Amino acid sequence: MTKLIILDRDGVINQDSDQYIKSVDEFVLLPNTVAAIVALKRANYTLAIATNQSGIARGLYTRTDLHAMHIKLQAQLTAHGAAVDWIAYSPYLHETPCRKPNAGMYQAIAWRFGLSSLTDVPVVGDSWRDLAAALSVGARPLLVKTGKGAQTAVQQAEGLANASIPVVDDLAAAVESLGVSL
């Protein structure tokens, strides 16, 4: 059986910006991201990213720009013997089934890896929409305080408590909470 983890991108893996991450130069990994992903791969996790990228529909950057950012990510990981197995993204601005908080990207990831269910699959995000999408498919959400996560922890405190969603400092802490050593 595939041991899968799903990560949001902006604010979890790389720095986030209210003005969007629009270029390779703006795509900067957060501290400990590489170590966390290397540890996940060493523990035999299949790693998928699910990311809303409405900046494409807004005309702020192109799909080519987005792919260049992902090539940069993969190159940085490959230098350490790791890689992301699949990246799903939604380039749309308006609500669609594939845009979080809807579950379409997560369902596409399950299909891609031949999983009939995402029950108990860890999903790491920094916004309520990441967590809501995870809850809707029975996955196990974790909130990181990086990116918009600290703000989400305050604004959604009741929802986090009601759903028993753990709040951790960053991706490295999320990985360690899964029992994976860095």
Place of tokens 């999983």: 115
Catalytically annotated residue among 10, 65, 130, 170? 10
Q: Which residue has the tokens 């490295």?
A: 172
- For the residues of 100-126, what is the DSSP string, one character each? TTSSHHHHHHHHHTT-S--TT-EEEES
DSSP label at 10?
Answer: B
Please say if 130 is a catalytic residue: no
* Collapsed DSSP state (helix, strand, coil) of residue 173: helix
Tell me the Cα Rg of the chain: 15
170 DSSP assignment:
S
* Catalytic annotation present for 10: yes
Go through the chain and tell me how many residues it has. Answer: 182
Active site residues: 8, 10
